[in-house]
Structure 1
């Protein structure tokens, strides 16, 4: 009996990514083994993205009249691809502003081979250098997220859009379930109505009974937002998308943990607001002094936690975390984003898509 040959096809959706694309393609070539096919999806590009991809010797697909952002671009490529693949084949989706570390693909393929219950393997992302203070704060945030994923033994609550390896048969299941058990257009893999297609495809795969993981070996280096305004718009889209996805799926066994985390997060915002109010009132009365007794112990433990959770990033990351007040300000910005997303959703305001300007790529 002939053995079935497993093939890996890498899809790289790209919108005006001529600067970062070479780094992404180089990281794919550095995998052992590399993908069998690499297809760059040039989506509404006004720069030399398609020419850069062609010069690198990979296939180029140009989208036609795509109005559905990244989801629409991926659907246009997956439409003709899935019918000519086998159930054993795999599809790797990689953002054109991200680079896989060597060993990413081998580790992801092995994880899928070892556990048939896993439907997709996502990356654990870290941020590129640059971006000043706002970039450094994002890198600390990503380091803590990676640590959290590791403590969950790689369970991925969201398959990052930066890089994820899918079983082809699972993508076909998703397409077949659209319009019936899953929201979205029948026959489409990605739901173009979703602002955060990575979060939505995760919910789709888990709703169909498959697990999603992010092994620590599957590291991907991605861009960071370099300005506060870019960060605000990016995070507003992320949070608005997460809330809209929960609304689209409703309360189910799969979505209940996501809904509980959202509820806890908004409760935390209320708690922080009350803390700031109490601190202001005590300060106005002159009762606010250095922390002492139990408060001193709690303060010290909090500082230690902030420093320890970013120690893998080195001394500068720990020094940024130690004063606490800087990262607390960053958290307040994010909480403001969460509140704005909830208000916009309740007010039915139109949501926008933001694509940050990528910095010149650094070495992965």
Structure 2
């Protein structure tokens, strides 16, 4: 039995924590979407069955009796609706204070919860507070449950903001002039909850911002009849200017201007909230403010994600053509003829090891294949032994299970050459791949060369998505890294190295789960250059199930974070190390970690924004983000000589596959913060890459 190291347990509590966090986020976003929803109004209908007195002028209706009360002659009840607004409500309050007038502010619960300090300022200034419903909903088509929720939620907001509740309700979209049977039924429902309804007969129309003169004309009562005036403390400077002209004119004309309570001589319009309502209201206000902050933050992240995608597109458009021109001009000054050692670390690779070894033996460049069996429990060693008997340049080394890094070090120690190629046991090489890789070592400054790894099994939708990711996310980025001289990873599936360079840094380290990234960064910090060779092509078997994909990418992401942290000091170093630290690491962390995390924010924000007034803007941004993802995809596929047809699945990949990558990155970050160390994740292989050329003896 192979020796197995103890496997530390990954903390499972983070899954529960992550689930609770996601549930809380969705709940808060749903609350914010509800509060921001643009509720359409219902056209007025028949006035049949509506009491004549209810729509004959400004009135306070007590639906419990029912009774309708009109203001006395030359009396104006001044009301403001739909606030409070952080910019204009203070200006309105200042205008009212200048003229010594009290008014009634019919606030929405959403705005009251977002700006509780303004509610307190209104009450402290001696004004009245009325209920304009939670979401400014048109109650004409609402049932009794919706009416109750709208009113009680607003009461909660008022209780949490200022410790009060109110008896006055001004239904949105309803004035005495628009009162119909549906609105009258809504009035009766409001009365069922112990409220009095205030209907305006003068509508300033200031929310349309028609100009101060028009607002003034709409707000001026005629014929000396008492009236209820509807204005908006959210409409802007026109309302404030109109007040400064309207109030002195009315006062000089002998009009009494005041709040609804003082105008109609109502005994009580506001009540002190109960303790339980204050506690519940405080929690409600906190939830609304948190949901608004979260929504605003996600919208900022949406723009950040879009900006990052745009920045990446700019990188691609600028760098890719330069890289193509440079690689097409490059030629090795002489041909390297020495035999190259190809090291294949293998653990339970019986499904594909024969194809891997045979493909290496077809190389046009002379090779020696060294397979290091790392304590396999299947037929891997037996298969390689048979190949060893048939082919002279195949060697098998067995060792107890010690991990991939140890297997690579074992193979390197056994190799007879200075130039080494490392290949995974599930990878098939093109015949000219090794030759293209080692040609770069004619430059004595180059310590490693990255190959071009492609997905070989592309039949399933999941495999096609991975194919897209390899071409766009890996190979395209390697072109950018190559031009900037800051490649962070030579993939374990195919990479070439100077043996002396690896020995100088102490061999392949097992400090991280991404030994290939760790090795590449260590070489660059030692002063070696790392380049990318697009013509050195290998084919690898991508995971065929979501579980296997999760294991692989979880290890990759976690290992990359480990390697980035291990080599963080390269940020302040010089030469190749400095380019890695100041160019490679930021690019890697921004576009492969940060963008992975916030990219789903685009989807989440777009989904919840569909139910708000910003739906069109956010939807356009989301579509623009998809375009910004698709353009580099087309460029990458063209550069790699791939057919564009798989890109038809890109929109679905952005919706489904991206969420999986997001969860993997989040789990990796949480695991890293928890201080856990993951075991090596062995994937199940099926050997389904494709036909392999006949090997040379």
Structure 2: runs of 5 or more not aligned: 1-335, 389-393, 571-577, 693-697
TM superposition shift of 1:80? 4.7
Comparing 136-145 with 150-159, which one deviates more in the overlay? 150-159
Q: Which residue of 2 aligns with 1:241?
A: 559
Match of 1:190 among 508, 515, 519: 508
Cα 1:169/1:267, change in 2 over 3 Å = closer
Equivalent position SS for 2:449: strand
Equivalent position SS for 1:215: strand
Equivalent position SS for 1:160: coil
Pair 1:261-2:587 in alignment: yes
Q: Which residue of 2 aligns with 1:24?
A: 356
Match of 2:428 among 99, 109, 114: 99
Q: Which residue of 1 aligns with 2:646?
A: 317
Structure 2: distance between partners of 1:45 and 1:309 = 38
Cα 1:148/1:271, change in 2 over 3 Å = closer
Contact 2:603 2:622 in 1 (8 A): no
Q: Which residue of 2 aligns with 1:66?
A: 401
Structure 1: runs of 5 or more not aligned: 176-188
TM superposition shift of 1:246? 2.3
Structure 2: distance between partners of 1:77 and 1:270 = 37
Between 1 and 2, higher relative CO (CA 8 Å, sep ≥ 6) is seen in 1
Comparing 233-242 with 25-34, which one deviates more in the overlay? 25-34
Alignment of 1:108-187 (within 5 A): 108-113=437-442, 115-130=443-458, 132-144=460-472, 145-153=474-482, 156-175=487-506
Structure 2: distance between partners of 1:118 and 1:244 = 25
Structure 2: distance between partners of 1:298 and 1:80 = 50
Q: Which residue of 2 aligns with 1:181?
A: none
Contact 1:137 1:327 in 2 (8 A): no
TM superposition shift of 1:298? 6.4
Summarize deviations over 1:162-202 as a string: whole Å, max 9, x none: 12221122122122xxxxxxxxxxxxx11122211101110
Cα 1:30/1:75, change in 2 over 3 Å = same
Alignment of 1:297-336 (within 5 A): 300=627, 302-311=629-638, 312-321=641-650, 324-336=651-663
Cα 1:344/1:31, change in 2 over 3 Å = same
Contact 2:606 2:619 in 1 (8 A): no
Match of 1:51 among 373, 382, 405: 382
TM superposition shift of 1:220? 1.0
Q: Which residue of 1 aligns with 2:670?
A: 343
Structure 2: distance between partners of 1:295 and 1:50 = 51
TM-score w.r.t. length of structure 2: 0.45
Aligned residues: 337
Cα 1:303/1:5, change in 2 over 3 Å = closer
TM superposition shift of 1:137? 0.5
Bigger Cα Rg: 2
Q: Which residue of 1 aligns with 2:679?
A: 352
Equivalent position SS for 1:313: coil
TM superposition shift of 1:48? 1.8
Structure 1: distance between partners of 2:568 and 2:618 = 44
Summarize deviations over 1:219-239 as a string: whole Å, max 9, x none: 111110111111111111111
Cα 1:231/1:5, change in 2 over 3 Å = closer
TM superposition shift of 1:290? 9.0
Structure 2: distance between partners of 1:287 and 1:59 = 65
Match of 1:11 among 338, 343, 357: 343
Contact 2:345 2:374 in 1 (8 A): yes
Structure 2: distance between partners of 1:226 and 1:56 = 28
Structure 1: distance between partners of 2:551 and 2:658 = 15
Match of 2:569 among 230, 243, 251: 251
- Aligned Cα root-mean-square deviation (Å): 2.7
Structure 2: distance between partners of 1:95 and 1:270 = 29
Pair 1:229-2:547 in alignment: yes
Cα 1:5/1:32, change in 2 over 3 Å = closer
Equivalent position SS for 1:190: coil
Cα 1:249/1:350, change in 2 over 3 Å = same
Structure 1: distance between partners of 2:409 and 2:601 = 46
